[in-house]
Amino acid sequence: MARESAEPKARILIVEDEFLIALELKDEAERLGYQVTGTAATGERALALAEETRPNLVLMDILLKGEMDGIEAAEAIRDRWGIPVIFLTAYAEADRLKSARLVYPFGYLIKPVKERDLEITIEMALYLVQADAVRKEAEKALRQSEVRYRQIFNNMSNGVAIYRAVDDGEDFVFIDINPAGARSGNMPRQDHIGRSVRQVYPGVRDLGLFDVFQRVHRTGLDEFHPLSLYQDDAITLWVENYVCRLPSGDIMAVYSDLTESKRAESALRSSEERYRHLFENAPVGLFQSRLSDGKIMACNSFFARQTGYDTPEACCDDYVAAEHCVDPAARDRVVSELVRQGKVIDREIEVTRKDGTPVWTRFSAKVYPEEGLVVGAVIDITESKRAAEALVESEEKFRVISEQSLLGMAIVQDEVVRYANQAYAAISEYSVEEILSWKPGESAKTIHPDDRDFVLAQALKKQQGEPGAVTNYVYRGVTRSGKVKWIEIFSRTILFNHRPADLMTFIDISERKQAEEALRDSQEKYRLLIETAADAIFIAQKDVIKFPNAKALELTGYTEAELASIPFTEIIHPDDRDLVLARHRSRLRGDSPPPTYEFRIRHKTGHVVPVQLNTAVTQWEGQPATLNVVRDVTEQKRLEQQLQQAHKMEAIGTLAGGIAHDF
């Protein structure tokens, strides 16, 4: 029966050089609700129609007339437009099937094609295409997230360094540092990575920062190391550090090099003239305020702009710090410290600008109690705080996405694995540490010898920028234990440490391969069993007959479409309908009526056929149903009647003989 739909489920191009087969495929596809965009008998015509109509799917005969066969046409269609292809083939084409696998078809159909097989194969192919699109979007989002993280990391004005604890915190080794951090130390990034912080910066313990690292590593609590002077034989720096422990256990320090600011402060003290010049032109906000309420008595232009005023005069006329402190208690603590110690260095506090906009500031100040004045310098660290938070968030997102992914992920550069997640380690049966320690090219040992040349050839093409590299394919992998697994790989070129690298995603499809093979075997066995059975076999669901075998059609006289369109009670003798229907529904409710019994059916021609039913509850297309085996017992009934008649005649003969004897 034709299936009606408001709109076609998918648009399909049919490529078949046998006209009758192409016509039959077109009719079947349209009955199933698909739109056929055209039919082609040659590979060249198929390419033209694919470009013109852009179908969702192509049914492609492997053997085509002309210079281009189906495999070549399928490869061209896939490479140019990304359209999935299902191959049409025959059992005799096993050799060509092997070649066809190289273009990664989305399924095979054996000719002659059955309508049910056609629908299942098409729907599965369309599902795989949709799943592949979702996967690609996920890969794109991951790449974008990593790029954002790396851009933030590399472009922060503050230095950021990440350390890994050694010997439970007895030492810390650089595992990453951004350009700003490398510039502060006047040392290239590569001279940091993998080296001890005490080796690179010998004065770190005297600075007190090494003790902070150890405490943060041990407790997991963030610490701020205030602005302090760092010195060794090579450099002198004024730095402040915000130190935290990452979810990975590594230590991150975000630090500001304020050496220039400190030098500016020293210059300010050297002479009044130089002080005034620097005061007006300093790249930080400088101010003089009343100790009691923070009323600005004098400030430079930078400070005025920081607080939202056009000129220092306007700021001095209006701005009172006590009225612009987001947390008044925080200001009270700073004032108390100023009175007690005479100065504060690198204190952070949140204030509001003239228009009410909140900003985070870091300031140092000195009090002159006799005059009731405070003199200080302030910088806006709002963006620095946001950048630090964004950096932590970006790193956490990347870590969570990668480590919680069910897909194996690895980054390969110069034939060396630069990154691998736990899922890839599980697939290969090597630890992440072992994978990252492999020598150049050593990862080839995880590829089956029969597939190794192909896989390495694709990797080489990508590294050299050659066209034609296959980025999605299936190969056999070899685990550490020697187990062979079927692996699907997706490969994309990315920038890693500013150079091209391959981001590869691995999916272990071994179980799927086994399941597909088992399913094909099971389906073939079941099909042969059903089609060659001497009894009628069918599914009863929602009061109609589904999936009848040839014997069922012969026994009832109806076609499969007719049986699916009428209640099955129509073929039951009127005197037996109530019994059969009651037992059928009782069985579906979970009761236990007799599984085997006899009743009569009416053939489409009207004659009555006695049958014996064996039935059981099953699931069909996700819904309860019964599996029924019906046997024609006409001959059995005839023989039983003959036997009964013979018994009667024997009894009559015995009785007649007895009567004759009496006379």
In terms of pLDDT, which residue wins out, 315 or 5?
315
Q: Name the residue among 105, 66, 111 with its Cα closest to residue 87.
A: 105
> Domain segments of the chain: what residues?
11-133, 156-257, 261-386, 405-513, 533-632
What does the alpha-carbon distance between residue 184 and residue 235 come to, in Å, rounded to a whole number? 9
> H/E/C letters for each residue in 586-648?
HHHCCCCCCCEEEEEEECCCCCEEEEEEEEEEEEECCEEEEEEEEEECHHHHHHHHHHHHHHH
| DSSP strands (E only) in 16-166 | 35-40, 57-61, 85-89, 108-110, 159-166
What's the pLDDT at 21? 87
Residues 14 and 55 sit within 8 Å (Cβ to Cβ): no
Binning pLDDT at 50, 70 and 90, where does residue 3 land?
Answer: very low
The crossing angle, in degrees rounded to 10, of helices 382-404 and 115-155 is 150
What is the per-residue pLDDT across 497-550, written as a single tens digit (0 to 9) for each?
878 888 889 999 888 888 888 877 776 777 777 777 789 999 999 999 998 988
Higher pLDDT, 645 or 428: 428
pLDDT at 648: 78
Q: Which of 90, 83, 177, 93 has its CA nearest to residue 132?
A: 83
pLDDT at 162: 92
Q: For residues 288 and 283, which has the higher predicted lDDT (pLDDT)?
A: 288
pLDDT of 596 above 60: yes
The amino acid that residue 416 corresponds to is V
What fold is seen in the domain 261-386? Beta-Lactamase (3.30.450)
* Residue 551 host element (H or E): helix 550-556
Q: What is the pLDDT of residue 98?
A: 56
Q: What is the 3-state secondary structure (H, E, C) of 247-287?
A: CCCCEEEEEEECHHHHHHHHHHHHCHHHHHHHHHHCCCEEE
Model confidence band, residue 272 (pLDDT cutoffs 50, 70, 90): low
pLDDT in tens, 187-228: 898 999 999 999 999 999 999 999 999 999 999 999 999 999
In sequence order, what DSSP letters do the residues of 298-345 get, joined into one string?
EE-HHHHHHHT-SSHHHHHHH-BGGGSBSSHHHHHHHHHHHHHHSEEE
Same fold, 261-386 and 533-632: yes
Whether the per-residue pLDDT at 2 is higher than 70: the answer is no
> What is residue 176's predicted lDDT score, i.e. its pLDDT?
92
CA 270 to chain centroid, in Å, comes to: 62
pLDDT of residue 87: 84
- Residues 473-484 have pLDDT tens digits of 999 999 999 999
CA distance 159 to 119: 60
Distance CA 354, CA 376 (A): 19
CATH architecture of 156-257: 2-Layer Sandwich (3.30)
Rounded distance, CA 384 to CA 387, Å? 5
Q: Determine what percent of the chain falls in helix, strand and coil, rounding each to the nearest 5.
A: 45, 30, 25
> Taking residues 120-126, what's their average pLDDT?
81
* This model's pTM is above 0.75: no
Residues 6+ apart with CB under 8 A from 528: none
High-pLDDT (> 70) share of the chain, %: 91
Fold of 533-632: Beta-Lactamase (3.30.450)
DSSP 8-state symbol, 534 = S
Query: Is pLDDT of 99 > 60?
Result: no
pLDDT over 60 at 331, yes or no = yes
Residue 361 neighbours by CB under 8 Å, 6+ apart: 285, 306, 348, 349, 350, 351, 378, 379, 380, 381
- Is residue 384 pLDDT above 90, yes or no? no
What integer pLDDT is reported at residue 4 of this predicted model?
A: 47
Nearest residue to 158 via CA among 230, 247, 242: 242
The whole-number average pLDDT for the span 118-143 is 76
Distances (CA, A) of 193 to 207, 277, 397: 21, 42, 23
Q: How far is CA 223 from the centre of its chain?
A: 36
- Predicted pLDDT at 71: 85
Architecture, CATH, for domain 405-513: 2-Layer Sandwich (3.30)
Q: Which of 266-270, 470-474, 591-595, 611-615 has the lowest mean pLDDT?
A: 266-270
Report phi then psi at 26, rounded to 5: -60, -45
pLDDT at 5 (0 to 100): 45
Residue type, 459: A
Q: Locate tokens 């190969």: which residue?
A: 475
Q: In this predicted structure, which of 27-31, 122-126, 314-318, 468-472 has the lowest mean pLDDT?
A: 122-126
At 92 the pLDDT is: 45
Lowest mean pLDDT among 15-19, 84-88, 118-122, 473-477: 118-122
CATH class of 11-133: alpha beta
Mean per-residue pLDDT of the chain: 85
Radius of gyration of the chain (CA): 41
Average pLDDT over every residue of 477-496: 90
Report the percent of the chain where pLDDT is more than 90.
39
Higher model confidence: residue 64 or residue 102?
A: 64
Q: How far from 87 is each of 45, 90, 129, 131, 384, CA to CA, in Å?
A: 17, 10, 16, 20, 58
DSSP, residue by residue, 58-95: EEEESS-BSSS-HHHHHHHHHHHH---EEEEE-GGGHH
The whole-number pLDDT of residue 653 equals 67
